[in-house]
């Protein structure tokens, strides 16, 4: 009998994880809670009508179905302690515990951890009083980066090029509730962003190929931040020599700092980095889970069966895993609803998905749901079209050819994903 896996989440990241797992001969069934229109149509895959924050319901389901491993996609259940709850019931689960998830759930705590560990990062001030934060902004005209301390679904960060923008950002923190009660104000780092994700069981660290995510809505990486409009891997801005430095100066020190605090960190350790024009890496932030859309370019390059890596990470035996990667390039382009990241349309039927397979690309759904035989939009980021090829240029060509076959009202996508790498 093959293994049964429960994946928690409903985005493109979770669709990609379920897709990678379902391709393995060792997997009997994949359940996704709650899933989306894409996971519903995967072989071996079933959607489960459970919220990612319904811990008791998820644990009951895992016991009822004899689930071998639960994989947590989004950050919110990790920050709320889902791993601790599952472990208390002796249920195997992939992801850091609540103490480890603070690395993403509290930017001020993560900043203090980095400074104590000597990890290169932007200089910062932390405020719990908005009036004092505004006085600091008035005395330091910037440019500055204003960050809500807690989880804000990728929307709690503002790059303020002038004092007026910084003050506006501070005024808007109240929309994030408790997540915005503490604010981190940082110097603005210059350079090129990149993401290094690694599997770790608290002792061994196995990095994935470096990726680059395009967070801004507009061409040339302009306009407001989004959850991510596309990605590619490997990102040439991180050379093998620079990756060695990132291991020694970022990944190993933060893991040691967590261990020193009594935290056994198991899951994905995700370092969002800025690479300066001189090639110096600095940490923008840490995340405690797979990235979205980075997952949609990393997992298609993984040769080692994903379930073996996830189980070894959760069990603390990652030193027995030899990660193998395809010597190819991967790219993905996100299709969003018109108006995103502001207010956007929903419930529009999506056409042409059946024609994508002939291009060789793969569609990973995020904001979709299935109504009888129709797939309709239900979110801001609707789907990511992903492809692999010998070169980044060819991978992107495949993505955009596939996109030309997909239609829904108001569809928006970036035509320049990969531009920094000559894509």
More confident residue, 154 or 170: 170
pLDDT at 277 over 90: yes
Is 112 part of any domain? Answer: no
Residues 41 and 89 in one domain: yes
Residues 403 and 340 in one domain: yes
Tokens 């979709």, located at residue: 368
Residues 311 and 346 in one domain: no
Residues 337 and 306 in one domain: no
**How many domains is the chain partitioned into structurally?**
4
pLDDT in tens, 239-266: 999 999 999 999 999 999 999 999 999 9
Residues 365 and 289 in one domain: no
Residues 56 and 153 in one domain: no
Residues 148 and 209 in one domain: no
- List Cβ neighbours of 314 (8 Å cut-off, separation of 6 or more): 69, 92, 93, 94, 201, 266
Domain end position, chosen among 147, 181, 215: 181
pLDDT in tens, 24-63: 999 999 999 999 999 998 999 999 999 999 999 999 999 9
Helix-then-strand count for the chain, H and E: 13, 22
What pLDDT does 422 receive?
A: 72
Query: Which of 12, 8, 1 lies closest to 228, judged by CA?
Result: 12
Q: What is the DSSP letter of 420?
A: G
Its pTM stands at: 0.95
Is 119 part of any domain? Answer: no
What pLDDT does 423 receive?
A: 61
pLDDT in tens, 79-97: 999 999 999 999 999 999 9
pLDDT at 156 over 90: no
Dump strand ranges (E) for 68-215: 69-72, 93-94, 124-127, 144-148, 157-160, 183-187, 192-200, 205-207, 212-213
Residues 202 and 311 in one domain: yes
Tell me how far apart the alpha carbons of residues 14 and 20 are, in angstroms, rounded to a whole number: 10
Is 118 part of any domain? Answer: no
Q: Cα Rg for the chain, rounded, in angstroms? A: 21
More confident residue, 372 or 122: 122
Is 105 part of any domain? Answer: no
What pLDDT does 180 receive?
A: 86
Write b or e for each residue in 215-241: b if 16 or more Cβ atoms lie within 10 A of its Cβ, otherwise e: bbbeeebeeebbbbbbbbbbbebbeee
Phi-psi category of 285—alpha, beta or left, where left has phi over 0 and alpha has psi -120 to 50?
Answer: beta
Domain end position, chosen among 275, 301, 320: 320
CA distances from 247 to 107, 204, 238, 281 (A): 21, 11, 12, 11
Domain CATH code at residue 352: 3.90.600.10
Residues 369 and 405 in one domain: yes
Do 21 and 5 form a contact (C-beta atoms < 8 A)?
A: yes
Domain of 198 in residue numbering reads as 192-320
Domain CATH code at residue 295: 3.30.470.20
Mean pLDDT of 101-111: 96
Is 46 part of any domain? Answer: yes
DSSP letter string, 288-312: SS--TTTHHHHGGGB-S-HHHHHHH
Phi, psi at 252, each rounded to 5° = -65, -45
Residues 196 and 312 in one domain: yes
Phi, psi at 372, each rounded to 5° = 55, -115
Mean pLDDT of 321-330: 97
What pLDDT does 311 receive?
A: 98
Domain CATH code at residue 75: 3.40.50.20
Tell me how far apart the alpha carbons of residues 9 and 16 are, in angstroms, rounded to a whole number: 11
Tell me how far apart the alpha carbons of residues 255 and 119 are, in angstroms, rounded to a whole number: 11
């Amino acid at each position: 009998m093959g293994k049964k896996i429960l994946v928690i989440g409903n985005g493109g990241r979770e669709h990609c994880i379920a897709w990678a797992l379902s391709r393995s001969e060792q997997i009997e069934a994949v359940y996704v809670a709650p899933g989306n229109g894409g996971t519903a149509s995967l072989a071996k895959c079933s959607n489960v009508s459970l919220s990612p924050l319904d811990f008791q319901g998820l644990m009951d389901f895992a016991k009822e179905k004899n689930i071998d491993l639960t994989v947590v996609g989004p950050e919110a259940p990790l920050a709320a302690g889902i791993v601790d709850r599952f472990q208390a019931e002796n249920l195997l689960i992939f992801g850091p515990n609540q103490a480890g998830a603070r690395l993403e759930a509290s930017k001020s705590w993560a900043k203090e951890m980095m400074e104590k560990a000597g990890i290169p990062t932007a200089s910062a001030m932390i405020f719990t009083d908005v009036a004092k934060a505004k006085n600091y902004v008035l005395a330091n005209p910037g440019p500055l980066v204003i960050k809500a301390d807690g989880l804000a679904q990728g929307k709690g960060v503002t790059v303020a090029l002038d004092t007026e923008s910084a003050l506006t950002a501070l005024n808007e923190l109240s929309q994030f509730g408790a997540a915005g009660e503490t604010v981190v104000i940082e110097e603005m780092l210059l350079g090129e962003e990149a993401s290094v994700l690694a599997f770790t069981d608290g002792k061994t660290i196995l990095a994935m190929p470096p990726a680059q995510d395009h967070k801004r809505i507009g061409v040339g990486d302009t306009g407001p931040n989004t959850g991510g409009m596309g990605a590619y891997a490997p990102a040439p801005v991180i050379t093998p020599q620079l990756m060695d430095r990132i291991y020694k100066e970022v990944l190993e020190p933060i893991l040691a700092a967590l261990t020193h605090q009594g935290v056994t960190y198991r899951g994905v350790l995700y370092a969002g980095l800025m690479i300066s024009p001189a090639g110096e890496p600095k940490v923008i932030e840490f995340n405690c889970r797979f990235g979205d859309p980075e997952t949609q370019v990393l997992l298609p390059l993984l040769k080692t069966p994903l379930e073996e890596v996830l189980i070894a990470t959760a069990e603390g035996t990652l030193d027995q895993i030899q990660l193998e990667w395809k010597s190819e390039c991967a790219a993905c382009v996100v299709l969003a609803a018109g108006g995103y990241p502001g207010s956007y349309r929903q419930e529009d039927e999506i056409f042409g998905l059946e024609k994508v397979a002939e291009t060789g690309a793969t569609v990973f759904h995020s904001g979709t749901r299935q109504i009888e035989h129709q797939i309709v939009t239900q979110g801001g980021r609707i789907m990511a079209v992903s492809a692999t090829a010998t070169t980044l240029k060819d991978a992107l060509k495949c993505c955009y050819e596939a996109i030309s076959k997909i239609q829904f009202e108001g569809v928006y996508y970036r035509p320049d994903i990969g531009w920094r790498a000559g894509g």
